[in-house]
Structure 1
Amino acid sequence: MNRNIYFLIIFTFLLSACGTKPSENIQNEISQFDLKGFFDKEASRLQAKNPTVTKTVSINGEAETKNLTIEEWKKELEIFSSADINKADWKGEFKKSVEGNKEIYTTNNPKILVKKLVIINGEKTKEIEVVISKQNLVYASSDTLKYIPDSLYEIKKVQKIKLLDPRKYLIRVEF
């Protein structure tokens, strides 16, 4: 019995010694552009700034436009931050390429909904575009998200349900 206890203590000690330092874990978790972190900062900045925006919502070409202030920017930008490609399950699934001032992350994995992330940089991030695609036997959906700091954001969505006409949605918010 004593022998088993000693073995368990030694095994536990060895197992705990194999871990990495916490700072290394944080560095390894964010291997591509930190989309969630970017939009968390943007939401905080816009919440403090509290700009009046022009919001247009269109369904199949029928549009309605309103001037308003956004009450909760974090919730408003959630669709962007939820498209973060740094999820643990997606590690190594995205290929990065650079074209001039663009960082482009792409995947062909059918299980991953985010297919493409494009970051246009200058002195700071100038524009972000995300392409999301879902597809099964009866349903197909394609979303294109675009964000230009202090200018606009846009969400375009096309839905196709088998045996029904496609539906097109557009949300455009101008600062």
Structure 2
Amino acid sequence: MCLYKTHTLCFLILLCAISSCTEDKKTPDIKNKYFDIRGFFNKEILRLSAANPTVLKKVIHNGISEEKQVKIPNWKNELDVFSASDLNKPSWRDSYNIKVNVNGLVYTTLDSTLKIKRIRINKSGNRITSIDIESQVSNEIYNSTELLNYYPDSLYKIKKTQQVKLIGTNTYQINGKIKP
């Protein structure tokens, strides 16, 4: 019986020693310089997933369109292109001009090599009424532009144009009208 207590005591001491050696993985709470796009869309993803609204979704690819009412099974995938436009990357900390006005915020790139050229966040009081994002990637053989618009509880649009030398132009647009 005494041997059992000794083993149990040794096990508990070992467990405490191991747990005290683990590294605290909390990241420092660094204030974002720019609006937290990723955080905003993570909240929207949770809200829309819980509400499960019907969406009138229209997809246009090179002029050919298709429209149908759907339930979005994965809002994270659906809005990922918006979340990916977050400006709060350490290397971009001083890369955008910030213009604040009564209607919201406008971020404009100071570095022409960055993909995200401009983000406009429109507000009514403290409520966000829309987010508009303009992106562009360009090099000698490829040019891509992307226009993203999001209106909470109403509509989202994704419009992309790709021009590839020797292949041509490819365009697509997704309009998602969120039904109450």
Q: With structure 2 as the length reference, what TM-score do the two structures score?
A: 0.80
- The partner residue of 1:152 within 151, 155, 167 is 155
Residue equivalent to 2:6: none
What amino acid is aligned across from residue 168 of structure 2 in structure 1?
D
What amino acid is aligned across from residue 150 of structure 2 in structure 1?
Y
- The partner residue of 1:166 within 164, 169, 172 is 169
Deviation for aligned residue 1:166: 1.9
How far does the alpha carbon of each residue in 1:36-80 deviate from its partner, in whole angstroms, 9 at most, with x for none?
000000000000000010111101111001111011111211100
Residue equivalent to 2:8: none
Identity %: 38
Number of matched pairs: 152
What amino acid is aligned across from residue 78 of structure 2 in structure 1?
E
Alignment root-mean-square deviation, CA: 1.5
What is the distance in 1 between the residues matched to 2:105 and 2:99? Answer: 6
- The partner residue of 1:130 within 133, 138, 155 is 133
What amino acid is aligned across from residue 150 of structure 1 in structure 2?
D
User: Does 2:142 correspond to 1:139?
Assistant: yes
Residue equivalent to 1:115: 117
Note the residue ranges of structure 1 that are not aligned, 5 or more in a row: 1-21
What amino acid is aligned across from residue 156 of structure 2 in structure 1?
Y
What is the distance in 1 between the residues matched to 2:96 and 2:63? Answer: 34
What is the distance in 2 between the residues matched to 1:76 and 1:129? Answer: 16
- The partner residue of 2:83 within 75, 81, 84 is 81
Q: With structure 1 as the length reference, what TM-score do the two structures score?
A: 0.82
Deviation for aligned residue 1:141: 0.3
